[in-house]
Amino acid sequence: MAVRTLDELIRQGVAGQRVFVRADLNVPTKDGQVGDDTRIRATLPTLRKLVGAGARVVVASHLGRPKGKVDSKYTLAPVAARLGELLGAPVAFASDCIGPDAEAAAAKLGDGQVLLLENLRFHPEEEKNEPGFAAALAKLADVYVNDAFGTAHRAHASTAGIVAHVRRSAAGDLLRAELEHLRRVLEPERPFLCLLGGAKVSDKLAVLEAMVRRADAVCVGGAMAYTFLRAQGKPVGTSLVEAERADDARRVLAVAQETGHALLLPVDHVVAQKIETGAEHRTVREIPDGWMGVDIGPETARLYAERAARAKTIFWNGPMGVFEIEAFAKGTEALARAVADSPAASVVGGGDSLAAVNRVGVADRITHCSTGGGASLEFVEGRALPGVTALENAP
């Protein structure tokens, strides 16, 4: 079913109406300051459209994992300050996301003004999608807009439950763009290349199984590659391995063989004895005892880049090595350049992958940088996202 767009909602009229915007403002904060404001900037187009249309905007988000309790470490107050700076106008802040304080703050809003509510996850009812909590959120607004693709795979009160309690709902511009670009991955122009990295096979088993059937080639990096190599009987030294996932790895390899799709594993490795800055490291074809793989080697990076150059659609999620340490980030950075240089339609998601394209200065050459790591993986697996389904079923 079609989801109402923000432009359609605005054409129907939002001036003077309170619009509840579920945004993803889950950004790093320290000492009362926002670190990386990428996610705040990503939702600015939606907020500016609503402000320009005269809406009274009530913004809600989670931050961190406070486990259903008030924790000052996870307050959204610094985010309100930064959001106001980026919008160029003051953003009011409510000390709670429901109840008298929130309702009073929402009632004070004038046309074109913005209010940010305190952390949704200070209430356990948010993640439980408790109907009463969803209704309490809905009391703050007449209209609902979901612009938080990063949480669209969660059936929470603010992403799914609230929709039943408002008159109109729509997808924000960020959410709409995410869906449009990720649908290219579901119906790709071929050759279709999938680049998957990260630490654990268990974290990405479902997307591995889906992609090895759908993609013409899947290139695997990161620590999860060593589970595959161990499953093939190859030496991996002290590399991180999920021994209990060996059968899963062999099953994925078998599916690749059955479908005729390529599943590529590293042919050389950057290895070290310790994962720490300044640790001795070297490039090897075969990992020796006492050493662990910490990055794909240059030959592997070249082979993966060659696949990227020939592709017409690319989906990349996850780093190729221990990206946090500069000496072990070369493979991930090489792939960032390769994806940017490719003529393919490219979708990049996951924190480290996005950090890589930003670090090497090629983000503007990626077709779409997805803000939702887990949500994007579930979407390309072909799973329904509760936040999107709620909008599809809205009146």
Q: Which of 114, 105, 109 lies closest to 86 in space, CA to CA?
A: 114
To the query of whether residue 351 is one of the catalytic residues in this protein, the response is yes
Q: Is 39 a catalytic residue?
A: yes
Strand order of the sheet with strand 56-60?
91-93, 114-116, 56-60, 18-22, 143-146, 168-171
DSSP class of residue 56 equals: E
Inter-axis angle of helices 373-381 and 173-186, to 10 degrees? 40
Catalytic site residue from 39, 154, 176, 245 = 39
200 is catalytic: yes
Kindly state the tokens that stand for 375: 């949500």
Residue of 85, 86, 97 lying closest to 58 (CA atoms): 97
Pairing assessment for the beta strands 281-284 and 292-296 based on DSSP bridges: unpaired
- In sequence order, which residues have a C-beta less than 8 Å from that of residue 30 and are 6 or more positions away? none
88 contact partners, CB below 8 Å, separation of at least 6: none
Residue 374 annotated as catalytic: yes
End-to-end CA distance of the chain: 11
Residue 228 CB neighbour total at 10 angstroms: 24
Query: How many CB atoms are closer than 10 A to CB 13?
Result: 13
Looking at the annotation, which residues are catalytic?
A: 39, 200, 351, 374
